[in-house]
Amino acid sequence: MNIVVIGDEYFVAGFNIAGISRSRVVDKETAGKAMEEAIAEDNAVVITNKTVYDMLNPRMKETVNTTVKPTFVILSHDLGAEENLRMMIKRSLGIDLWK
């Protein structure tokens, strides 16, 4: 199972230390292209953060929100992040684990 991390250099470095070697350091100009490449490649999971997600155009955000493979995990300090995780799990597994 391929996992890729997309984010700024500090975000990516944390996952590299944890053993995830597939990563892309992005900025506002390269975030969308990196997401397109992650979808085109054989990745099972794409991990990114809210900062990168906010850099994406509306079309790419919709793709990230609805694509099942790869599964996108968007990490955030936001209180609404739990609801996003719930939606991702429900979309991937087809069941609501919170019920």
pLDDT digits (tens, 9 = 90+) for 68-87: 899 998 888 765 656 666 67
Question: Is 79 inside any structural domain?
Answer: yes
pLDDT of residue 68: 85
pLDDT of residue 38: 94
Host domain of residue 59: 3-93
Question: Is 98 inside any structural domain?
Answer: no
Buried b (16+ CB within 10 A) or exposed e, 64-89: beeeeebbbebbbeeeeeeebbeebe
pLDDT of residue 89: 66
Question: Is 70 inside any structural domain?
Answer: yes
Q: What sign has the CA pseudo-torsion 89, 94, 97, 99?
A: positive
> What global pTM score does this model have?
0.78
CB within 8 Å of 84: residues ≥ 6 apart: 74, 76
Number of domains into which the chain is organized: 1
CATH of the domain at 83: 3.40.50.10580
Question: Is 99 inside any structural domain?
Answer: no
Q: Which residue ranges in the chain fall short of pLDDT 50?
A: none
Question: Is 76 inside any structural domain?
Answer: yes
Residue 51 one-letter amino acid? T
